[in-house]
Amino acid sequence: MQITLNIPEQYLVDANPVELGQRIKLYAALLMFQSGKLSAGAAAEFAGVDRFSFTAECCKHGIPLVDYAPEELHAELESLRRGS
């Protein structure tokens, strides 16, 4: 599927239209991953990058790859300690 966006030329700062399109796809994928709409693999595919590059972008933008609530993390650690 193709989606067309009308972007004013003043926003092509340091990028050509192709690079800007790739950046927009990456940022959209990061946001959809962060909000739980896409898995990391699906977001990487959506952005057109490999999983290692997507992981690096998540780190660069402060997006955790695993998002446990503190209670879930404590319960998981306790379960591991018990050997269950």
In a domain, 9, yes or no: no
How far CA 35 is from CA of 30, 44, 67, 68, in Å, comes to 9, 14, 10, 13
**Residue 84: per-residue pLDDT:** 59
Range of the domain at 76: 15-82
Residue 62 located in a structural domain: yes
The set of residues, in sequence order, having a beta carbon less than 8 Å from that of 28 and lying 6+ positions away, is: 46, 47
The model's pTM is: 0.76
Task: Note down pLDDT in tens along the chain; length 84 residues.
Answer: 888 988 888 887 777 888 889 999 999 999 999 999 999 999 999 999 999 999 999 999 999 998 777 888 888 888 889 885
User: How many structural domains is the chain composed of?
Assistant: 1
